[in-house]
Structures are given as C-alpha cells and as structure tokens.
Amino acid sequence: MTDVLQQIPAVVDRLRAAFGSGRTKPLSWRREQLAALRAMLTEQEDAFAEALFADLAKNAAEAKRTEIHFVVREIDHTLENLDAWLAPEDAELPERLLPGRGTVVREPLGVVLVIGPWNYPLQLVLAPLVGALAAGNAGVLKPSELAPATTAAIARFVPQYLDQEAVAVVEGAIPETTALLEQQFDYIFYTGNGVVGRIVMTAAAKHLTPVALELGGKSPVVVDAEVDPVVTAQRLVEAKFLNAGQTCVAPDYVLAIGDAGGKLEAALADAVRAKFGDDPSDSPVYGRIVNHRHFDRLSTLLASGRVVVGGQTDREHKYIAPTVLADVSPESPVMGEEIFGPILPIISVPSLDAAIEFITARDKPLALYAFTESEPTKDRILAETSSGAVGFGLPVVHLGVPSLPFGGVGESGMGRYHGKYSIDTFSHLKAVLDKPLA
C-alpha cells in the first residue's frame, strides 16, 4: 500500500490537469462516460454480483436489483433528462434592470472525491459518480476496504470502461483515505457514519472544500392501532431485513401506538417465516453480517428485549437470524445506537403525541416511516418532525426513486443527490446578469 500512498498526489494532479484542459466539460464527453458506465454494469453484471455475494452473501437477484440495476436506472434517468437539467435557467429581473437578462448557469466544480461504504459497496460509489460525470467533473473513487471483492471489481473494471485521465479508483484503508483527504478537492461526497463524517468534514475545512455527508441514524416507524398488521408486517420485513438489515434507511425501531404492538408481533413472526422459511440460515435470499466485529456488536443487542422471532446466531458464518424484539425499554442497548443489522425492536407508546415526542427528543433520522390511513396523522408527522425523508406505508423504497432527493438532515447528514439533485450537488450554480450598453 506504500506505493498507493505515494501515487495519490500524482493521481489527483492528473485528474486536475484533465479537468483544466476542458476535457470533461463537453456534453458529448459526459454522455459517453455515462454510456460507458452503463455498459460496464451490464456487461460485467455477473462479476459484480459474484463480488457482492463474496462480501455480503448478497443473493444475485438482490445484488442486481439494489446495486447494479439501481445504478443503471439512475444513468438512464440522467441521460433522458440531461439536456433539460443543464440548460440555462431564466431568472426574473427587477424592473429597474430592464431591458436585461438574468440566467443561472451550471458549471462543473472540478475534481471530486467519492468515498463509499461497505453495505452497498457498488451502488453507493457509482450512483454519486453518475451525478459527478453528468455535471462534467473529474473524480476519484475510494470504495470500502470492508467489501474487498467489490472494491477489487470496481478497481478492475472502471479503468477499462471510463476515461482514465478523468476517473481514478484508489484502493486501501484508513491510510489511503487519510492521504486522499490531505489533497485539495473541489467537492467531497462521503457515505458512512457520523464519526468518520466529522473527520471528513474537518479535513475538508482546511481547503474550504464543500461536502455531502450521507450518514444514517435510527429511522423510526410509527404504527397506529388501526392499520392492517399483516400488510404492515410484510412491508416491514421486506424493508428491515434487506441486506440482513445493513441498510442506512432500514426501519430501525417501531413505535407501536396503543395495542398495535401486540397485533404486530404474531404478524411479524409469520412474515419472517413466509419470507425466509423456518430456518433463515438456509434461505437463498438472506445475507450475512459483513464481518465479525459487527457480528459481535449486534449479538450483544439481542438481550435488549423479549425475542418474538429469530435470535439465533452463528459466529463462524456471521449469521444472525431476522429478529424481532418486544418489551424493549427506550434505555436498552439496542436503542442506544443505530442497529444496522437484522434486529427490529418494538416499543409501545400510548398515543401519537407520545410517538412524536419520542422522535423529536432524539437526533433527526435519515428516514421516518409511518403506517396509518389517517390524513391528520400524516399531516402532524410531516409538520412536527424532521427527517431526511418520510415514507407512508412503504419503507426504504423512496431511495430508489430518482426524481426524489436523497439525503439527511442534522446528525443524519447534509447534501442530497439522485437525478437532477445530483447535477445541482456536483455543479456551481453561477448567476449571470446581462445588461445592454444601449
């Protein structure tokens, strides 16, 4: 890795020279790179799926749906709309400046750094790259060392398909990331946890580099007593146990109003068995914990409540069964941190007032979900809570809608991307005023 550390300044200099030459600015280059990225994902689909299985035991269907095809859809949406998104926008001028014209022009920022996480190691590196390329930037990708097979695949294929003068991949761990952060970039896009997010932001401040921090947090689910527990449980199981719970917008805990918790318990147990069978360790659609450190952390949380379903573990194979806990105290260990694993606690609250008070007393989450048919309840949740996103009746899926912005607020992050929001994130919106001389 010493060679990699020594090469990092030269890599950044090469990309900066490419950007300075104007190479990345033409619309034709941007479209070519996006098309090449799409070709990489489709032509090497099986190789990426195998890498994702090696890192996370992610089955091929899930890998393609949530990682490979996810980015392909993002590319297609961007290519379809890119001309309109990049067109100068007219701005209304005050009467005293007429005749004249005001416009907003988007220009690329320069050289950007994308630091990805391990839980969706392909999607969360390449989806930001879509916006960076579409906006006309050069970029360095730093995939996660905790997903070594996927990182190796990215490092292998990106240079084969994309412009090597403008896009680079740096492999490695903390020393390499630290060395990258010592360089001057024009934008840094980080996905991960708040601890590292603060390190990234501190390093960026030395160069006054703007950042996007896509973090996480404990995303709550409010369930009122009137909803169908079977449908609610099925949708919670699909969302919570995707990628063995290792999803930044996964439902973290349930706030069950009134007797909703009792109704949910049996329905959740049935939904887990319907999805993964009587022994989820044999299920071809259930993944594994990324490493033993996270396995050990999660295992200690299982004693935080009464096990409704699941609870089984196998350290050798990094397996933790899809688990639902009831009778959970707000002060229990499972409520003290983002779970980021296949454990779903249920906390009973007496009313919507109590649920809202519970949520607002804590850090602002990346997502907030609610199962309710009451429009006044929805209105109150929207008006009285703050979160990166809100999903009524369907958790997690908003992440895959390219026309919706994705990002956090407060402790769950800053900045947003997907679709047009990626273009704005990776562009400078330049104000232009043109006043005739006569």
Catalytic residue positions? 214, 248
**Residue 301, C-beta contacts closer than 8 angstroms, at least 6 positions apart:** 333, 334, 339, 341, 343
**Residue 29, C-beta contacts closer than 8 angstroms, at least 6 positions apart:** 23, 136, 163
Q: What is the 3-state secondary structure (H, E, C) of 110-157?
A: CEEEEECCCCCCCHHHHHHHHHHHHCCCEEEEECCCCCHHHHHHHHHH
- N-term to C-term CA, the chain: 63
> How many angstroms separate the CA atoms of 433 and 370, rounded?
46
Q: Which tokens is 87 given?
A: 């067109």
What is the sign of the dihedral through the CA atoms of 253, 259, 262 and 267? negative
Is residue 290 within 8 A of residue 147, CB to CB? The reply is yes
**Residue 125, C-beta contacts closer than 8 angstroms, at least 6 positions apart:** 114, 116, 141, 143, 154
Q: Using the 8-state DSSP alphabet, how is residue 405 labeled?
A: -
Helix axes 229-240, 260-276, angle to 10 degrees: 50
Q: Which tokens is 221 given?
A: 């689910």
Q: Is 329 helix (H, G, I), strand (E, B) or coil?
A: coil
**Residue 120, C-beta contacts closer than 8 angstroms, at least 6 positions apart:** 66, 67, 243, 247
Place of tokens 């659609």: 285
Mark out the alpha helices in 245-363 (DSSP H runs).
260-276, 292-301, 352-360
> How many angstroms separate the CA atoms of 131 and 34, rounded?
9
The radius of gyration of the chain from alpha carbons, rounded to an integer in Å, stands at 23
